[in-house]
Amino acid sequence: MENLIQNKKIIYNLSFVFFFIIFLTKTKKTKKEEQKKIAKKRIIKLFELAEKKAFENNFDLADRYVHIARKISMKYLVKIPDEYKRNYCKYCYSYLLPGFNKRIRIKNKKLVIFCSDCNRFSRLNFNIKKNKVDKIEKK
């Protein structure tokens, strides 16, 4: 009988430890997800601020915001949304404003973006099926 009671106690303790480990791993996962959510919010906020600063003709600050947003996306493995990806040059990472340093055309079902800071073209895909054309027209 004593053996049985001891065994029960050991099993009880083990199960407690097991559930504690599960709890820890779950909290770690949710922590990461939360971090990613916050990172995405910050990236969007930074691009909005960059747009504001670019309209105020303060391109140095706008470039700095793009730099910070890219750093955040790399650190927390969050993708920069497609709407904001076209707003900076993928070679020199400067913020692009149409009419100032950006020229945008559609050629062979691709967006061709010309950066007049480094005189280079970047081509981006966009799917007509996913109604991404509507988004561009709204902007």
Residues lying near Zn ion in the complex (CB under 5 A) are found at 89, 91-92, 115, 117-118
Q: Which tokens go with 23? A: 């709890």
Which of 76, 114 has the CB closer to Zn ion? 114
CB of 113 to Zn ion, least distance (A): 9
Which of 19, 91 has the CB closer to Zn ion? 91
CB of 96 to Zn ion, least distance (A): 8
CB of 81 to Zn ion, least distance (A): 20
Residue type, 100: F
Question: Residues 6 or more apart from 137 whose CB is under 8 A from it?
Answer: none
Which of 41, 110 has the CB closer to Zn ion? 110
The Cα–Cα gap between 106 and 1 comes to 82
CB 68 within 8 A of CB 86: no
